[in-house]
A and B are shown apart, each in its own frame.
Chain A
């Protein structure tokens, strides 16, 4: 156990942060009474989060084959745009990325 990094601490820190935002609306109601601009900004956070969750990670993750992940997410996005589904786009992107890495 001696040289194993203390992963428990960051895992639990992350758990506490997650639980706080989840529990908040069950115990406080001020979220309904924020100034309009702030509440508008907060409601846009999920959309604003999508950009940095994808870039630049999807490129850097594949190093020399930088295009592999891009092809994968392009396939997923195209399919998801046409049809309401979560499973098929994900499986499709794994297939496309795998092929791009092999070629």
Chain B
């Protein structure tokens, strides 16, 4: 009989996520500073959104003066994966978690939290998940504030270099997906990357719409050329 998952265990397993989020969130804090946000707005951004790629995309769109509908739809689509992660996590969650607790647990869904939490072969308790999510959340929010503050003293070349963090995070994810799932991962990502570049640089489409179109087109093409769903789940 395994013992129940505790808050302490969640907090322990969340620590590597904290360490990974902190520099990425710092990069986000720097981006916010460049956009002209105040520090409390940058922190509010991370508190209310708590979504790496979604926040960078939203900040990018705000900087380009995108309309609100473009922001809403782009962020919704880039974060759509949380629905599938949440579906899996809520299936494994212990029963009888109601109202506000569900809302708070749902808000803590991220790629990293998901990949750590679903690894367990036993029901996930709300205490465990709260420990895991709070630790990740703390790293993300405090990193945002730290990045904003450090931006005042960091030389501009180093600030620009820290901006690569976000792209490095995505290319690392891509490399790991490629290793686990093979060549089609690269193919799908390449199709969407080329499409997005053409739409933005040649056709001068808005960043948000270009993102939505290229992401949807590549996943449809990907689904058409993939026989086995299981290998991509």
Complex Cα gap A101–B170 (Å): 21
> Size range of the interface on B?
35 or more
Q: Counting chain B CB atoms within 10 Å of each CB, which of A48, A57, A91 scores highest? A: A48
Interface string of B40-53 (1 = CB under 8 A from A): 01001100111101
Closest to B178 in A: A81
Complex Cα gap A57–B63 (Å): 13
- Chain B residues whose C-beta falls within 8 Å of the C-beta of A5 in the assembled complex: 36
In the assembled complex, the CB of A71 is this many whole angstroms from the nearest CB of chain B, namely 9
Is A69's CB under 8 angstroms from B215's CB? no
Q: Counting chain B CB atoms within 10 Å of each CB, which of A4, A42, A86 scores highest? A: A86
Q: Counting chain B CB atoms within 10 Å of each CB, which of A15, A41, A61 scores highest? A: A15
Given A14-B54, A15-B48, A45 and B77 contact (CB-CB distance below 8 Å): yes
- Chain A residues whose C-beta falls within 8 Å of the C-beta of B105 in the assembled complex: 26
Is A43's CB under 8 angstroms from B229's CB? yes
Is B84's CB under 8 angstroms from A43's CB? yes
- Chain A residues whose C-beta falls within 8 Å of the C-beta of B167 in the assembled complex: 53-54, 57-58, 61, 69, 72-73, 93
The listed residue (B86, B160, B196) touching A26 by CB distance below 8 A is B86
In the assembled complex, the CB of A59 is this many whole angstroms from the nearest CB of chain B, namely 8
- Chain A residues whose C-beta falls within 8 Å of the C-beta of B172 in the assembled complex: 76-77, 79-80, 86, 89-90
Closest to A100 in B: B161
Q: A-B pairs with CB below 8 Å: how many?
A: 287
Closest to A99 in B: B161
Is A61's CB under 8 angstroms from B163's CB? yes
The A contact surface, by secondary structure, is: helix
Binds A, one of B6-14, B118-126, B144-152, B182-190: B182-190
- Chain B residues whose C-beta falls within 8 Å of the C-beta of A2 in the assembled complex: none
The listed residue (A11, A18, A20, A50) touching B44 by CB distance below 8 A is A11
Complex Cα gap A57–B60 (Å): 10
- Chain B residues whose C-beta falls within 8 Å of the C-beta of A8 in the assembled complex: 41, 44
Is B83's CB under 8 angstroms from A25's CB? yes
Is B41's CB under 8 angstroms from A94's CB? no
Given A17-B76, A78-B175, A56 and B19 contact (CB-CB distance below 8 Å): no
- Chain A residues whose C-beta falls within 8 Å of the C-beta of B162 in the assembled complex: 94
- A sample of 18 inter-chain contacts (CB < 8 A) reads A10-B58, A11-B45, A13-B68, A18-B82, A19-B107, A37-B223, A41-B222, A45-B215, A48-B216, A49-B78, A52-B195, A52-B211, A53-B56, A53-B170, A76-B172, A77-B172, A84-B176, A86-B16
| Chain B interface residues toward A at CB < 8 A | 16, 19-20, 23-24, 35-38, 41, 44-45, 48-51, 53-58, 60-62, 68, 71-73, 75-84, 86-87, 89-90, 102-103, 105-107, 109, 111-112, 157-158, 160-179, 185, 188-197, 200-201, 210-211, 214-216, 218-220, 222-223, 226, 229, 232-233
Q: Sorted from nearest, which 4 A-B pairs have the closest CB atoms?
A: A51-B193, A51-B192, A93-B168, A80-B172
| Chain A interface residues toward B at CB < 8 A | 4-5, 7-27, 29, 31-32, 36-37, 39-58, 60-62, 68-69, 72-74, 76-81, 84, 86-87, 89-95, 97-98, 101-102
